[in-house]
Structure 1
């Protein structure tokens, strides 16, 4: 294997280069780069004592503890494949993942003291047989499984390290910079933000947990250069400001060090982008689009991109090609809605032990994202929603994102989420949950009259609900499946139904 494309080699080299500097800072402890490497070497040694084989999947327990990244590094130095699992995952989830990976070894550096200092636990008897898709694999990342059984996405060292270089060429992680790490490192967004911070010689700052008021306080009072968030976190932060609670009363951010707010994982609405940009005028809000299967970060929307083309995904990252195709795989004309497909050297090896599912995810060398998109006259990509989220109402196809964009232009609306739910007559009806602006009341008739100036009548919501927040899944992202379940289960009562 080419060492320059191996994540373990690259991260260990950074640890040797920046030795005494602080790598990870948390409330309870800090780790220098040298200490991080020492912990990783202990993991590597323990794995080898267990006879860990090359490309063998090894579970690593994480919960954004300072020692967690030593687990990743130790696994990579041993030549194995890291399978991140959150420490708070239900036992059934852990068992399900273990059945899929057939892992016999698990790493938990933070709990080493409870196991006589041994960071490696044997959870199975025999190593699994070699699998073709695990050749040169760095990670198996399990998707959230909001629409079914979680899938194990296998990403190689070559793919992920290559995408890291492409990302760094766009956002420029540098020595001495401090990254506030709020993202879960069981998922690719949190992993790449952490790795690029360390490979660049920066410091990861770990809060105990995400608290909106604490985020505002840290950004204002600590030297933070970069923070990665999902839009749900930004909405929670703005809600705290709007309420004017406690320490945030009269908060006016002064964050001279803050260079970038990186956001992704779910769609960033135009209203939310404007609110955050106004709150932090000296900071670049960078909206990122990508998937675990593509090693993340395929498009970057910088402030200048947003000003030039508000609805565009922005610039593709290096070596990423894209196209929009219709139902028969032909490239769509400008303006026509189709599926966004991506080709690059950074695509996944496949889904673990699911060759049929892997084959179905590709069209030749193109990965089928499942996202609906349209190209404008300039070839810029405009996202229109998920193909699985497409609502079929009386034979008419409706994309939730189009309806959401229109609703968010209504003055009383802070945020919203649109889903389809089964209906005996029309097949599906359109449901929307609205989070109003502080002090505002949603009048259904006024909202529908407003929407009639922006949408075809068949795209208007059939049912309107009001809530304090959008439901989120275990990744912290707004979750359509959770909303659909609340509606079909009768947990929400609509303001009014459409006549």
Structure 2
């Protein structure tokens, strides 16, 4: 029996007249994607795919990648997206975790194993296994269900109201839950979806200048564009961003450059189905926060002792949602540890403000212990970004013989400024306690990013070691 999400996506494609375009490829009409999906289904069935069997698919942000994903669902299997440039180590780790016997790249099926993996009850209603590295670097298979993902798409449609005349520019990869839901929502709405194979400011700027009405991008992409001066975007009406902190300075830059485009600052995780909070453009307060919970999402902020924090008090943000994961693949212990009752433990430190907005303070696992002082990297970044010559900043703790951990910062200065790392450190010493001032500051043209394009604290450690050494 075909799952709900597959049935809906097939219907959306058949009802849409808007092409799925590519910046470096031919794209396809929606009817052609539907036919392509049926060909994928038939080939998988001929190959002997079993119900709920995980099938890997190579993602290169092609229109046909969506057709492959749909074809896997039509065959009754579970899609496991892997980026085409993933390292052999990543591919091997995902292959071991899933036991997948089939890898699809377009219509080409590669047999990876002779026997189907053992059946898993967890996959009985699953649509996707999305692998995230998290803070440990070890890939975790997040299992997302058809009904939950379909329900989330409908909730996001009510929040964002994509239109048939929209042109949605999507430089996010389809291995990333943000990229997946934006693409599905665009198809559902009959909008034109433009898949960007490889992000570059020039490619996105050209689309913004001529036709884009909606841009979906992580803040790191927007910072790279802002460093060059944001282009004119006559038709742009909406910017969707999330996956990392946007920050008040970048938000102000976007508002100044694109006054007619509403910025939706979104917060969520793969485990919760994404977009648990939103700071929409029509809210007059809340700058620098993640805003308010989205439809059907509840939350609480919990102290170390397990009690609910008071307004203004810091604790762990915990989220309850009907759109969350079914669990981590083959890891019930990790799944259990990720929840406190029916609330997902985000690992983010937050506080509820008197105006009802929720403000992130940092990450439980990212707190730096420098000389016995507990410091949030996000707090330092916020201060550094207040400097008039700083475009962006990212901090991380680095092992240190004297302090236990030292604070290292990568800073992107604004073009044409004469700021130096020492001058920035002296200024920071006037803005915060001295033990919070970064021990090492290096300047870079961009912040280090990970595979999904989000800013990477692990990259801070690598970059500061190479540039300060």
Length-normalised TM-score, structure 1: 0.90
Of the candidates 386, 409, 430, which is equivalent to residue 363 of structure 2?
386
Question: Could you tell me which residue of structure 1 aligns to residue 292 of structure 2?
Answer: 315
Any residues of structure 2 matched to 1:419-434 within 5 Å, and which?
419-434=396-411
Q: C-alpha separation between the residues in 2 aligned to 1:76 and 1:286?
A: 30
Any residues of structure 2 matched to 1:198-209 within 5 Å, and which?
198-209=187-198
Of the candidates 74, 78, 83, which is equivalent to residue 75 of structure 2?
78
Is the Cα–Cα contact under 8 Å of residues 138 and 157 in structure 1 kept in the other structure?
yes
1:148 and 2:137 are equivalent in the alignment: yes
Question: Could you tell me which residue of structure 2 aligns to residue 301 of structure 1?
Answer: 279
Is the Cα–Cα contact under 8 Å of residues 292 and 356 in structure 2 kept in the other structure?
no
Q: C-alpha separation between the residues in 2 aligned to 1:309 and 1:195?
A: 29
Q: C-alpha separation between the residues in 1 aligned to 2:163 and 2:303?
A: 42
1:267 and 2:255 are equivalent in the alignment: no
Any residues of structure 2 matched to 1:205-224 within 5 Å, and which?
205-221=194-210, 223-224=211-212
Root-mean-square deviation (CA), in Å? 1.9
Q: C-alpha separation between the residues in 1 aligned to 2:12 and 2:238?
A: 23
Query: SS at the partner of 2:232?
Result: coil
Question: Could you tell me which residue of structure 1 aligns to residue 121 of structure 2?
Answer: 132
Q: C-alpha separation between the residues in 2 aligned to 1:259 and 1:436?
A: 29
Is the alpha carbon distance of 1:89 and 1:58 closer, same or farther for their aligned partners in structure 2, counting shifts above 3 Å? same
Question: Could you tell me which residue of structure 2 aligns to residue 187 of structure 1?
Answer: 176
Question: Could you tell me which residue of structure 1 aligns to residue 41 of structure 2?
Answer: 44
Is the alpha carbon distance of 1:416 and 1:277 closer, same or farther for their aligned partners in structure 2, counting shifts above 3 Å? same
Q: C-alpha separation between the residues in 2 aligned to 1:182 and 1:465?
A: 28
Is the Cα–Cα contact under 8 Å of residues 144 and 474 in structure 1 kept in the other structure?
no
1:162 and 2:151 are equivalent in the alignment: yes
Any residues of structure 2 matched to 1:446-465 within 5 Å, and which?
446-465=423-442
Is the alpha carbon distance of 1:361 and 1:254 closer, same or farther for their aligned partners in structure 2, counting shifts above 3 Å? closer
Is the Cα–Cα contact under 8 Å of residues 213 and 240 in structure 1 kept in the other structure?
no
Q: Deviations over 1:404-463 (max 9, x none)?
A: 111111112111111111122322122222211122233456534543443223222222
Of the candidates 283, 290, 304, which is equivalent to residue 268 of structure 2?
290
Question: Could you tell me which residue of structure 1 aligns to residue 15 of structure 2?
Answer: 17
Q: C-alpha separation between the residues in 1 aligned to 2:134 and 2:289?
A: 28
Is the Cα–Cα contact under 8 Å of residues 25 and 203 in structure 1 kept in the other structure?
no
Deviation at 1:176, TM superposition (A): 3.5
Q: C-alpha separation between the residues in 1 aligned to 2:75 and 2:30?
A: 19
Q: C-alpha separation between the residues in 2 aligned to 1:464 and 1:23?
A: 43
Is the Cα–Cα contact under 8 Å of residues 262 and 288 in structure 1 kept in the other structure?
yes
1:53 and 2:66 are equivalent in the alignment: no
Q: Deviations over 1:2-59 (max 9, x none)?
A: x7x72110000112223x5424455532311111110000001111112212211111
Question: Could you tell me which residue of structure 2 aligns to residue 245 of structure 1?
Answer: none
Deviation at 1:208, TM superposition (A): 4.1
Is the Cα–Cα contact under 8 Å of residues 181 and 194 in structure 1 kept in the other structure?
yes
Q: C-alpha separation between the residues in 2 aligned to 1:308 and 1:162?
A: 29
Q: C-alpha separation between the residues in 2 aligned to 1:365 and 1:21?
A: 40
Is the Cα–Cα contact under 8 Å of residues 347 and 365 in structure 2 kept in the other structure?
yes
Deviation at 1:351, TM superposition (A): 0.8
Question: Could you tell me which residue of structure 1 aligns to residue 224 of structure 2?
Answer: 236
Query: SS at the partner of 1:346?
Result: coil
Q: C-alpha separation between the residues in 1 aligned to 2:408 and 2:23?
A: 42
Q: 5+ unaligned residues in a row in structure 2: which ranges?
A: none
Of the candidates 263, 268, 276, which is equivalent to residue 254 of structure 2?
276
Length-normalised TM-score, structure 2: 0.95
Is the alpha carbon distance of 1:65 and 1:451 closer, same or farther for their aligned partners in structure 2, counting shifts above 3 Å? same
Deviation at 1:136, TM superposition (A): 0.1
